[in-house]
Amino acid sequence: MRKISLLLAFIFGTLGLVGGSVATRKPQTASAQPSAPANHQKKDHRWISGVWEPPAGLKQIPIWPQGAPDMEGVPRRSERIEIAQTPDALEGRTSEAAWDVTSPTMTIFPPKGGNTGAAIIVFPGGGFKAVVVTKQGTEICGWITSKGITCILSKYRVPKSNHHWDSECKCAVTPKVLRALQDAQRTIRLVRAKAKELAIDPKRIGVMGFSAGGYLVAQTSNIFQPVYKPIDAIDNISSRPDFAIAFYPGHLCRSDATLDPGIRVTKNTPPTFLLQAWDDPVDDICNSTLYARALDGAGVPTEVHLFAKGGHAFGLRKSEHPVVAAWPPLVENWLAEIGAIER
């Protein structure tokens, strides 16, 4: 198995910007994108200081009314945006990723055309170092909304906000406070609390995640008790998603090819859709196969697609492999099959 050696080459390559989590190919999976050096300059990349802004006409909503919890001792760096030239982007020619996020938000993308009443919360990847808001966020929401589904883009706290690869100790680290999971749980509760306002069915709210975001999908699918101290009535609302979709998830496959012990799959785990390429150079295929076996063992309705080729962090962008063209109809048909949308 390959150890982490991809690091900056992957950050400034796969995405055309931070492509998703850079992870070890051995079972001790942890996304590993190091912070970019302050003096790093690349011809097709630039950095700006400031808060990421959603597409025109959309508004970010803070998910914590009085600021995010458990931030004592966390360095308060200003949020910054990495912008890369990506001619293959679905809209425009650039892609963005948010770094040093301390004020988590959600952005609502209304459905286009008819409203199915379903909603999907999207957790982008980024190795819990950054949040890949274009390739695994806004572009994905564009497809979701085209199907009449409300999309909610989560910009959760990073870095070191969940299980990750630490470049200083060269080891996988699980922090005592899982701040990204706190944000994910809160976002699900907040969306459900706003169901009437958003014209969605509170019993048809799902999650979709990519790479590190796929790990958040697994966590929110199995950890229902708040991992933070409740702050208001919204935290009495269930954070269990009604369905779950994980693309090339990371962090699940640990030492000796065992499932993350924090993921305890039960019959209450929601119906799940898993998809990954077998040749993924970042997150080992065991992340999907181990989780699939656990889902099967608990009797959870699950659909699994493992493609021979496709690599990592493909999203919806043009690819020489069939996985990109194949997954949207597979997901749409599965959503209809489980009753989340009508055929």
Spatial CA neighbour of 175 closest among 27, 283, 258, 70: 70
pLDDT number for residue 40: 45
pLDDT number for residue 76: 86
Spatial CA neighbour of 91 closest among 120, 60, 131, 56: 56
pLDDT number for residue 15: 40
Q: Are 183 and 22 in contact (CB under 8 A)?
A: no
**pTM for this entry:** 0.91
pLDDT number for residue 30: 55
pLDDT number for residue 31: 44
The SS3 of residue 122 is strand
pLDDT number for residue 43: 64
Burial zone of 338 (CB within 10 Å; 0-12 exposed, 13-18 middle, 19+ buried): middle
Stretches where the chain sits below pLDDT 70 are 1-43
| C-alpha 136: how far from chain center | 7
